[in-house]
Chain A
Amino acid sequence: MNPDRTARPAEPSSAIHLKGRTIPLAAGESVLEGLERAGIEAPSGCRAGTCCKCMLQGEDPPAMSQRSLRPTLRAQGFFLACQAYPIGTLELSSGEAPEPIDTVIQSVEAVAPDVARILLRPEDSFAFRPGQYLDVLHPSGALRSYSIASLPSDQVLELHVRRIANGLVSSWIHEQNEGQRVQIRGPFGQCFHVADDEQKRLLLVGAGTGLAPLLGIARDALEQGHKGSIKLVHGGLQPDRLYMRPQLSELAETWPNLEVEHCVLREATEQEHEGPLDQVAIRLAGSLENTRAFLCGDAEIVRLLQRSLFLAGISSAEMFADPFSPASP
């Protein structure tokens, strides 16, 4: 008899792995119960898959434990620990904030009187989904969040930065030159394309630099072969606030299922629709059947868009919003 073979305990059929520690799960034991038994602090509430307080992130969690979550959360491996009965070992994310990485400025281009289009070349690997955002770290330690307009395949990070009066970080980054180093960390955010239904109509509405995430989301959907119509409505106070129009026109010419519309509150020319952005977007959208909406810009306008589109019939589960909040001084 080989003592080595008999002495070794049977390989557990289910387990969770967290920060170098493996916690075997008993038969019929959920991830939440396993964590609690191991003395690891894990928030929980209803323990029946509705309240979402026990949400965790991991690699390929069981589909059942992701059932009631939004597609963007599912795509990032979020799941409900109380509903998770993994087969094999489930690797849990540590939940720690991402480390800063270095980038080099490739260009700073003025695209509107107060908006610069900044291209950064990351010096380390930086995985993200277009439409997510990152933090730019100012040498003083201050940080500001900006959405990503480019695709991973572009190999640069494109940000649209509006210069805020007396804004510490926005003024600083507007004055940077090619070749200078900027630290970033991320990505963050739940506003991005998930290719779960290629026929869905996508309605992208944003004001000001809310264009940045929308541009990333539209390009991402198109590159991933989205077949349904994609309508992008960019809003601003008056025509000169709407920027990167040549690039948007070119994109719409390249992709037959993409339409780009412009909307202003005043002084519209033949190139723009005039009126409140929420009302114009609803009118331009036509049918809201099988529609997913992405709404980006300052928090106030995003809240208005969310409410108006919800009342017009888009389901709350199909609205992805990225409200920009001003930095606290």
Chain B
Amino acid sequence: MTLYERLGGEPAFQAAVDDFYRRMLTDERVSRFFDNVDMDGQIAKQKAFLTYVTGGPAAYTGKDMRKAHEHLWSKGLGDEHVDVVIEHLGATLIDLGAKAEDVAEVAELAESVRKDVLGR
């Protein structure tokens, strides 16, 4: 059973994505990257991200990830911001009922996305 399924699948992640996005919007270290974005589109993308990193069914590719972030490279998007995302991801999953070892596993998977987010 994947972590995605153990945490309650799609209905649980619908609520979790709101929690995750609220954390990002209220964190001054990263909130500026979300100015003037279409919120419905953001929620859909972040839900796909949460689904992907917890082993759920997601149509997620590195190419999409690069494309979604390339306009932020000139705005100073860097490793420290990816760290913030991984931090909030962990907190969201813990609130959803994940165990520490699950979060470590997810963080490892999220880590593999770093090079695409930062265009390396």
Contact = CB atoms under 8 A, between A and B. Distances in A.
Contacts of A68: 10, 14
Given A303-B39, A307-B25, A307-B39, A49 B10 contact: yes
Q: How big is chain B's contact interface, by range?
A: 20 to 34
Q: Interface centre among A52, A310, A316, by most B CB within 10 Å?
A: A316
A90 B39 CA distance: 33
A315 B21 CA distance: 11
A319 B38 CA distance: 13
Contacts of A165: none
A48 B10 CA distance: 10
Interface residues of A, number: 22
A27 to B, nearest CB: 22
Interface string A298-329: 00000100110011000111010100000000
Contacts, number: 56
A26 interface: no
A52 B18 contact: no
Contacts of B25: 307, 310-311
Contacts of B59: 44-47, 51, 53
Contacts of B14: 68, 317
B26 interface: yes
Interface of A: 44-53, 67-68, 303, 306-307, 310-311, 315-317, 319, 321
The 5 closest A-B pairs by CB, nearest first: A45-B59, A48-B57, A46-B59, A51-B59, A46-B57
Given A50-B56, A319-B39, 13 more contacts: A46-B59, A47-B57, A49-B57, A50-B48, A50-B51, A50-B57, A51-B57, A53-B59, A67-B10, A310-B18, A311-B22, A311-B26, A316-B21
Interface of B: 10, 14-15, 17-18, 21-22, 25-26, 36, 38-40, 43-44, 47-48, 51, 56-59
